[in-house]
Structure 1
Amino acid sequence: MRHPENSHRRGWFSSHLVSQLLLTAALASVAYAQETNNVRSVRISHVEGTVQILDDNGVVFDQAHANMPVTEQMHLKTGDDGRAEVQFEDGSVARITPNSAVNFNKLERTSEGSTITQVEATGGLTYYEFNNRGGTYSVRVGPYTVSATKSSIFRVAMDQNPAQVAVMHGSVHIDTGNDGGLDVQTSQTATLDRKDTSSYDVAQNITADSWDQWNSDRDQQLAQMGARATMARAMGGNPDEPAWSDLDYYGNWYDMPGYGMGWMPAGLGGGFDPFGSGYWGYYPSYGYTWISSYPWGWLPYHCGAWNFFNSAGWMWFPGNCGYGAFGNGWYPVATVWNCPPNYLLPKRPITPVRGPVHMPPQQALVAVGHSPVEVHPRITEGGKPIAPPIRFEGKTLSPMEASVQPKAPGPLGQSFSVASGYVAPVRGGSGTLPGEGVRGMYPSSGAIPSGGAPRNTAMPIAPRSTAMPASPRSVAAPPSYHTAPSAGGGGSSHYSAPSSSSSFSSGAHMSAPASSGAASSGASHAH
């Protein structure tokens, strides 16, 4: 016999339980959101041939360029002649061969600063070298998840079903979803049926592929660039970021009196223009970002500040460089303190906004090229441009010598921290070190001259012939930042919020504290 009352109670209990479970899940989701964020930007470090950047709405950039950022939920797709490499903050890399594609499903960061990275191999042949220094990495292969359990090199072939995961170094764990999964060791190949997760096999060998040599060649090139490092990168929030190796390889560091450690490219001469060649690329997350055409053009354009000296020329000073997050060590464009006389900075395009407002049409890429400098540096036997001393305020300054030589450089090689013995200071909740800025770990006598935002000057911009979206994308409003109080009497720098202006200065600014020093000619003092 049915008992309506008991049935009603069971129904109420079931509904109540479901409500409680939903509430618990919602609270857990909120807590997770507070502990993680997805504002990372990782770097495309190498491009050859046809490479597209897409998202779920279609093509974002019909041709990718080196130094372009990749954000969460973006896809990379190569053509018949295309190949690309993406670097992560700890030196790990993902590489894509012709006629291949990957999705960046997760690019997250926890409140402790570690990263959560999930890439999805969707076609062709891709390579992965994960050292797991800065966080956790995984690759989705159909219904499977491949995780690097230690420093590992493996490739994923998706040309046909079943897919293959070949481990060249280290080991990976493959989550099959219906059992304990399987572990694949060095020189083993897993065959994975993408339609049936209970059907898989592990072979005790690897079949060589013609693209293995390209992957090894890229490793050798990165190892060469990181073989001789200076201690200058220790002033950054993440000294293992591979972009520091670009600066050590292509340029030199000088201890500038009153400024601290500054970097300048080698072999370019006095006519060098840091903004002479590049693009403005439109990203829905934060508007137009600067994409430099120089091979070392990642860190110097997304943190710190450029400054022009009459005697030495252009020089870049690090500041708040770490952890690669918008608003926490990564910005769409760096600050410029002072310019040469009559120099015009390229104007940052206006970001489209929602609503019935008359706006210029959005362009995916806006090319900038007003007298780029052709590079003909003198090269040493080791392959690095010769570093001359420079004159500054009546003194001769020699470049900083390389002092850190890892035993095994490269994506899986010895980290800078291990090779140098450097121990990172404890970071505060704001994500910046106390006093972190231009001076970093190398305080010099004197004070930093007053700087400020660059002049709001316009220049002609030639649009690049690229496929544009049919209609402007919706733009997410950037986070709101508040100017940090400068410490003491001007020994450190601070960052100010991106403004709503359409000028080049609409990126975040690293502002030099005011002092009695005089800046070089061409300085801009407008805030």
Structure 2
Amino acid sequence: MISHLRSWLALPLLIVLACAQAASSDPPSRVGRLSLLDGDVSMRREDSRRWEDASLNWPLTAGDEIATGADGLAEIRIGSTALRLGNRTAVDILRLDDERIRVRLDEGSVAVRVRSAEPAAAIEVETRHGAVIPVGPGQFRVDHDEATVSLTSYRGDLNFRSDDSDIIVTEGRRAHVYIADGTSVRWDDPADDDFAEWVLARDERDDALGAPRHVSPEMTGAEDLHEYGDWRTSDEYGEIWYPRDVPSGWAPYRSGRWVSVAPWGWTWVDDAPWGFAPFHYGRWVLLGHRWAWVPGRYVARPVYAPALVVWLGLPGVVVSSGPAHVGWFPLAPREIYLPSYRYTPSYVRRINITHVTNVVEITHVERDRRHARYAYRDHRDAVTLVRGDVLRDSRPVFRDAKRLDEGRWQLPRVATPLPPIDPVRKIGPDRGERSHEKDARSDRRPSPRERDDADDRRDRNRDRETTREPAVGSSVGAEDRRPARAESFGVRPMERRDDRRDHDRERRDAERRERIRASPQQDGLEPPPRQSQPEREQRLDPRRQHEQERRERDQQHMRQLQLQQNESRREAEALRRPEQRHIEPRSREDLQQRTDELRRQQERRDHTQRQFEQQRRRDVQDRQRFAEQQREHERDRREQRQAIGQQRELRREQQRLDPQQSRQEREARRPDGRQDGETSRGRP
């Protein structure tokens, strides 16, 4: 009985854990966007150690790093929040998901504009000495160097938290926090430099455009739609958006390139300055000869998708008689998008809720994708067809796109999963180093030893090819393909190939012996010392030294963080179960002191939070009291007006009922206000 009761009690916990694990397998619903690039701006992806030039409209997620040069400026958009990077700034995105936005500022200046309360509660800018957290919506700036953190609040309040300080920066103030033996603060007015002017100009532009009216402000990239397009209302689709100034033959997902971004896989990066929101949210429809974007149903925070397309063929599957091709076309309104990456049923419902609300239909198509029907499956103005290497090399699509003429290309059936990444072309952690080595080796002529080694490898490969047996089930071997031409000279193909190979080998051996005789070693001179592999790599690519030093610093920093985490974990474990571990009295005292210090810090934070709450409640009470006083004053004035009106009505009624008496009263009163018989000196 007790065992059955325990099983029933544990069932809700298992259900909750299963739901949490399923939700964690979904990719994040919001991402960042590189919305503006000016000057030298570089980025390093999570799955690569190589820095590369940043691209406009690149989707950013956790693990990506952005760095600007001496003349570089960049802007990152995450929904309605904007992060602007100044010169010589390095930013690392630590976390970017549905719950938190954590950004680490390694060096330089970053300006943050928060427009709503929800992102303000989730965003956090970390530095080496503490964390910067906006108290609410506002406009802020953080400058960071080796020993100083400068905090500026142009609008709203800002909170800086470290191990030994908790600082509130109010609106219109600037705090210089110095980290040495202790924390000291120096207050100043906000800085007025080129970066501040650029940030204020960008904010004024956003304020002039206003918040998006037809879509949610939390849709990343929606801030550029009003400037580069026109909104119209359709009876069938509701609000639709037409892009302006598009070239002839333009179609969605044709002017850009495909890149691989984890965890989504193939992701579309458009070339247009507005090309983010229309390609990662909503659907496209062809009205007449013009494409229009349909955002669909209004959702407070829409779910990001890498590309809302359907694929035709896969790299390696021949679509025509030529090389391998792959094609795609955009989804039309009310068509279901099924991702190729891992997802849960709730995720696929949330990503399609703007256009498809019928859960039964989504489940039906998800179980059997053959039930899906697509409007632009065979539409020549919607389908884009390219060679497979265009995707693998991330080349621009527009200049390599094929014209889809009927009868020339035989399209395969619809393939919803995205094309896989070719392992040969996949960017690994050391692809940059290998490419530098290859470029450096290609600039010099091969040495005699390298030529001999290459010839030997070629001979060995040729031997393996000639001695290889035919595959099982094959009709003929390699020698039987062209018997007529070989046997016409009276020599078998295998014998001619062996004689030619032996002749080439003898010739190379003779040349090698001649080089040995003429080498400096015959005259008693020693050959030059052979360089080791690290020396050759450094000589071939001097940039490897800088990358190696950076990797070593990163590894050392990660080791220090790991040691600190392990130490904190051991301290917490010792505090929770002191009876299970042997702790020296001095260590226990240190742990107790550390615990007391942490508790005091938490108490200070709680005290500050309580002060904020009390002040907010006082403000609310003051506003309520003022409103009540206004209502009472208005009520008194209304009652006074009613009393005056009643008196006037009574006087009119009395005059109407007794006009003779009223006339006598008017005649009895003199113009100066004295009754008949009165004098200026008094009564008679």
Indicate yes or no: 2:183 matched with 1:199.
yes
> Where does structure 1 lack aligned partners over 5 or more consecutive residues?
1-23, 110-114, 337-344, 351-359, 361-367, 369-427, 441-448, 467-495, 504-527
Structure 1 contact 125–157 (Cα < 8 Å) conserved: yes
Structure 1 contact 323–330 (Cα < 8 Å) conserved: no
Deviation of the 1:122 alpha carbon: 0.6
Paired AA for residue 232 in structure 1: H
Q: Deviations over 1:82-140 (max 9, x none)?
A: 21111111x1111111211111111121xxxxx41111111112111123433321111
Deviation of the 1:438 alpha carbon: 7.6
Indicate yes or no: 2:95 matched with 1:102.
no
Indicate yes or no: 2:67 matched with 1:82.
no
Q: 1:297 to 1:200 in 2, by over 3 A?
A: same
Q: 1:459 to 1:35 in 2, by over 3 A?
A: closer
Indicate yes or no: 2:260 matched with 1:286.
no
Corresponding residue number in structure 1 for 2:81? 92
Q: Deviations over 1:43-88 (max 9, x none)?
A: 1111112212214665466111221110012111112222111111
> Which residue of 133, 140, 143 maps to 1:157?
143
1:461-480 mapped onto 2 (5 Å cutoff): none
Indicate yes or no: 2:41 matched with 1:63.
no
Structure 1 contact 303–321 (Cα < 8 Å) conserved: no
> Which residue of 111, 115, 119 maps to 1:127?
111
Distance (Å, rounded) in 2 between the aligned partners of 1:450 and 1:349: 22
Structure 1 contact 51–64 (Cα < 8 Å) conserved: yes
1:166-315 mapped onto 2 (5 Å cutoff): 166-179=152-165, 181-194=166-179, 196=181, 198-226=182-210, 231-233=213-215, 238-241=216-219, 243-268=221-246, 271-309=249-287, 311-315=288-292
Q: 1:261 to 1:151 in 2, by over 3 A?
A: closer
Deviation of the 1:431 alpha carbon: 6.0
Q: Secondary structure at the match of 2:198?
A: helix
Paired AA for residue 99 in structure 1: R
Q: 1:500 to 1:347 in 2, by over 3 A?
A: closer
1:443-522 mapped onto 2 (5 Å cutoff): 451=375, 457-459=385-387, 499-501=417-419
Deviation of the 1:290 alpha carbon: 0.6
Distance (Å, rounded) in 2 between the aligned partners of 1:117 and 1:42: 10
1:317-466 mapped onto 2 (5 Å cutoff): 317-319=294-296, 329-335=303-309, 432=350, 436-437=354-355, 451=375, 457-459=385-387
Q: Secondary structure at the match of 2:273?
A: coil
Q: 1:61 to 1:346 in 2, by over 3 A?
A: farther
Deviation of the 1:214 alpha carbon: 0.7
Q: Secondary structure at the match of 2:194?
A: coil
Paired AA for residue 333 in structure 1: A
Indicate yes or no: 2:297 matched with 1:316.
no
Structure with higher Rg: it is 2
Q: Secondary structure at the match of 1:120?
A: strand
Q: Secondary structure at the match of 2:306?
A: coil
Distance (Å, rounded) in 2 between the aligned partners of 1:202 and 1:348: 62
Distance (Å, rounded) in 1 between the aligned partners of 2:114 and 2:278: 25
Q: Deviations over 1:18-53 (max 9, x none)?
A: xxxxxx9xx999969958976231111111122122
Structure 1 contact 37–108 (Cα < 8 Å) conserved: no
Deviation of the 1:247 alpha carbon: 1.8
Q: Secondary structure at the match of 1:219?
A: helix
Structure 1 contact 347–457 (Cα < 8 Å) conserved: no
Q: 1:123 to 1:323 in 2, by over 3 A?
A: farther
Indicate yes or no: 2:62 matched with 1:72.
yes
Indicate yes or no: 2:135 matched with 1:138.
no
Q: Deviations over 1:397-432 (max 9, x none)?
A: xxxxxxxxxxxxxxxxxxxxxxxxxxxxxxx99764
Distance (Å, rounded) in 1 between the aligned partners of 2:254 and 2:105: 36
Corresponding residue number in structure 2 for 1:17? none
Deviation of the 1:317 alpha carbon: 1.9
Indicate yes or no: 2:51 matched with 1:45.
no
> Which residue of 107, 116, 137 maps to 2:100?
116
The structure carrying a bigger helix percent of its residues is 2
Q: Secondary structure at the match of 1:193?
A: strand
Q: Secondary structure at the match of 2:269?
A: strand
Deviation of the 1:276 alpha carbon: 4.0
Distance (Å, rounded) in 2 between the aligned partners of 1:500 and 1:272: 23
Q: 1:462 to 1:270 in 2, by over 3 A?
A: closer
Q: Deviations over 1:132-175 (max 9, x none)?
A: 43332111121301100012222222234222122222111111
> Where does structure 2 lack aligned partners over 5 or more consecutive residues?
1-12, 317-323, 328-345, 359-372, 395-413, 422-684
Q: 1:204 to 1:28 in 2, by over 3 A?
A: farther
The structure carrying a bigger strand percent of its residues is 1
Q: 1:305 to 1:166 in 2, by over 3 A?
A: same
Paired AA for residue 189 in structure 1: R
Q: 1:268 to 1:330 in 2, by over 3 A?
A: same
Paired AA for residue 58 in structure 2: M
Structure 2 contact 266–419 (Cα < 8 Å) conserved: no
Q: 1:333 to 1:190 in 2, by over 3 A?
A: same
Paired AA for residue 47 in structure 1: L
Deviation of the 1:461 alpha carbon: 6.4
Distance (Å, rounded) in 2 between the aligned partners of 1:305 and 1:119: 32
Distance (Å, rounded) in 2 between the aligned partners of 1:69 and 1:348: 24
Paired AA for residue 417 in structure 2: S
Q: Deviations over 1:306-361 (max 9, x none)?
A: 2334x23222222478677xxx721111237xxxxxxxx999979xxxxxxxxx9x
Moved more, 257-266 or 209-218: 257-266
Deviation of the 1:295 alpha carbon: 1.2
Normalised by the length of structure 1, the TM-score is 0.55
Deviation of the 1:460 alpha carbon: 7.6
Structure 1 contact 38–72 (Cα < 8 Å) conserved: no
Deviation of the 1:501 alpha carbon: 3.8
Paired AA for residue 159 in structure 1: D
Q: How many residues align?
A: 341
Corresponding residue number in structure 1 for 2:650? none
Q: Secondary structure at the match of 1:248?
A: helix
Q: 1:211 to 1:194 in 2, by over 3 A?
A: same
Q: 1:498 to 1:162 in 2, by over 3 A?
A: farther
